[in-house]
Chains A and B, each alone.
Chain A
Amino acid sequence: MNYDRVLIRYGEMSTKGRNRSKFTNKMKTNIKRLLKDDRIGVEAQRDRMFLYLNGASFDDVREKLVHVSGIQSFSPVMKTTQNIDEIKEAALALVQRTMNGNPASFKVNTRRADKQFPLDTHELNHEIGGHVLRETKELKVDVRNPDFILTVEVRAEGVYLSSQTIPGAGGMPAGAAGKAVLLLSGGLDSPVAGYMMMKRGVEIEAVHFFSPPYTSDRAKQKVIDLANVLTTYGGNVRLHIVPFTKIQETIHKQVPENYTMTSTRRIMMRIADRIREQTGALAIVTGESLGQVASQTMESMAAINDVTNTPVLRPLIAADKLEIMDIARKIGTHDISILPFEDCCTIFTPAAPKTKPKTEKVQFFESFLDFDPLIEEAIGSTETIVLPNIESEMDELL
């Protein structure tokens, strides 16, 4: 017995008005790209989507679908002919697969779209439920609060059965809500922040600051890996790797030590804003969480935010470290994030960074030098990687 299709229910998306078809189309492309299986057909309808498996395994599809943002829930579906014995047999197999050897309660929910079908809904419920009950141990009926519902849909072309509803990631399809620049360090927070935004339908342009020879190629690979993990949530990610050594060395020379961190962040923000402009993004996303480190106090954020009017979105601002770590584990970035490679922030960290920097002061320190040419140079030599790129190339070869 094999499932032959998957029914996908939309989340909030279905409440949208005229933009809905844009959203569903986006989700359709995201799903197709993620599944990478030519056998599977995708059909987007007004209020739901069908995947036609054509022999592909539901378990493989399931593993990928749970990550796709925009999906409220999905169900594997079996198709039979209108032959009642066949329906009963399929129902029994489904129920037993769902119970997996454990006691359970259930009810049958029949929809008879094909009114030519000889049995009415009530009779069908009775026929199917009765057969399943007789043949299954430790199964009982509970119409109020069943452990699972066996849905049977009788249509002219066949009968569709399903007994399982798998929760999806929710949110909006990636890319449906416009684009933002994500400051991606290599730590735990920024990938989680990126994930949260992607879940709301935001397409991500990730920016990473890279300081060779202080930071190694492995540190860069780590960020590429992180960005790659983000692509599994249903969108492409472009990763901009900005060479930052010269700027960091200059700040180190120019600015009093306790203000270097503030200054560094301000320049990062300026560069991110430039990349935002170039890529047509509308906002900057950071993984900042209030009070976590010196640069994330209210005062620091004010001093850093001073360089731009662009909205700076901080999805983790009120989250605790432990909550962030939980999400990181769930989305698969945790183990990559904790790899011990130096990043550009840890190398030049002053012993005692200002936790309450003053905007005027940092402006004054920076006024002795024109950072613009340095920023231009860094942007000019930025490397852009489209993900998933090489990974998918590798996967295709294997």
Chain B
Amino acid sequence: MIYFDNSATTMPDESVLETFIKASTRFFANPSSLHHAGMEAERFLQKARSQVASLCGVSASEIIFTSGGTESNNLAIKGTAQFYRNRGRHIITTQIEHPSVFEACRDLEREGFQVTYVKPSENGIINPEDVEQAITNETILVSVMHVNNETGAIQPVEKIGQIVKKQPQILFHVDAVQGFGKIPLNLVRSGIDLMSVSGHKLNGLKGTGFLFKKQGIHLLPLLSGGGQENGLRSGTEHTAGAASLAKAARLSFEADMEPVWHIIKWMRRQLEDRPWVNIHTPASKAAPHILNISLPGLKGEVLVHALEQEGIIVSTTSACSSKLAKPSRILQAMNISSELASSAVRLSLSTRNTMQEAEQFIDALDRVVPVLAKKRNERT
């Protein structure tokens, strides 16, 4: 199997799994317990937290372990919006966000907040000036993703952060789920107050993630309970999960993305030579592991299944939206027609993929597409 769907999820790293299993047996006690076993678990959790913090260049008390990207995004957006609702009721985000940001904002709209969804330019990149123009004196939060999950476009979060930070009352949240560990991001220089990260995109495990919350910023927790994670995320701490996340994060920071970059560039050149392929991932300012393409006239879903027959796993748009059978909201925001958007397919690689796999993919595409086109023509 050639797995090109790493933006949907990655295969857990062996050593991360090992950490998870060992930690689950060795440090299973409740970190909040007073006994010795509890203290050990607490200490272990603390170490995992410190490791994550030092990778981000922040302090350990600023890391909240969560169940993943969706929870981190919800906690960041709803948590701060609710806490600071008396400061203002306006939120700025973009049209290309992940559903966990987009829908969280929709929820807030129903609760009386105003949300501006900034439109990207045609290459899928948000213009910082558009964000600046959307700011009003009611604005309390700006949420922009680092790397788009469908196109791989890197958003200018540093520039946006610098704009946002001119107004001390506005918080800046970055959904870094797709970029973390792959593309460097300086939290301080980018003026980031909140950042969401998920473990399973880093060869870690599902159900793990964290939210960075800068010291001094408050938020209203989503869950009521025993007040774990500094009162911000109740529920018995997932010690082994946190440890696996810390390990996966470390490994991904240590991993060399250069070979992936090289493979993606080669694939891009190959695809550019094929007039029947459109590429929606910007040529520059894109993550080194994502390529979004469409084959006009061919439904994305059909191509996904045809490639699957060849042992190649790719996906249409994002996994979270692909079952909706609607053309990608993100591609449409980039002024791509809904017809073309519904033929889009996303290739997302990881450091485990090889050049040989990329060659096999191109071969398979060349084989499969004429057959599909022929079938389609026969039908019409």
Contacts and interface: CB of A to CB of B under 8 A. Distances in A.
Interface string B35-52: 110011001100110010
Contacts of A54: none
Nearest to B47: A394
Nearest to A216: B34
Interface string A190-219: 000000000000000000000000000110
A218 B36 CA distance: 9
Interface residues of A, number: 9
B44 A394 contact: yes
B34 A217 contact: yes
Contacts of B43: 221, 390, 394
Contact of A395 (B22, B35, B47): B47
Interface residues of B, number: 19
Given A394-B44, A397-B19, 17 more contacts: A217-B34, A217-B36, A217-B39, A218-B39, A221-B43, A394-B43, A395-B47, A397-B22, A397-B23, A397-B26, A397-B44, A397-B247, A398-B19, A398-B48, A398-B243, A398-B246, A398-B247
Interface string B5-49: 000000000000001001100110000001110011001100110
A68 B246 CA distance: 28
B270 to A, nearest CB: 32
A221 B39 contact: yes
Nearest to A57: B254
Interface-centre pick from B40, B44, B246 (highest chain A CB count, 10 A): B44
Contacts of B35: 217
Give chain B's interface secondary structure class. helix
Nearest to A220: B36
Contacts of B51: 398
28 contacts: A217-B34, A217-B36, A217-B39, A218-B39, A221-B39, A221-B43, A390-B40, A390-B43, A393-B26, A394-B27, A394-B44, A394-B47, A395-B47, A397-B19, A397-B22, A397-B23, A397-B26, A397-B44, A397-B243, A397-B247, A398-B19, A398-B47, A398-B48, A398-B51, A398-B243, A398-B246, A398-B247, A398-B250
Contacts of A398: 19, 47-48, 51, 243, 246-247, 250
Interface string A208-236: 00000000011001000000000000000
B114 to A, nearest CB: 43
B94 to A, nearest CB: 35
A393 B23 CA distance: 10
A390 B34 CA distance: 18
Contacts of A393: 26
Interface in A372-398: 390, 393-395, 397-398
A395 B43 CA distance: 11
A17 B39 CA distance: 48
A395 B22 CA distance: 12
A271 B299 CA distance: 81
Nearest to A225: B43
Contacts of A390: 40, 43
A390 B22 CA distance: 13
With a 10 A CB-CB cut-off, give which of A221, A393, A395, A397 has the most chain B CB atoms: A397
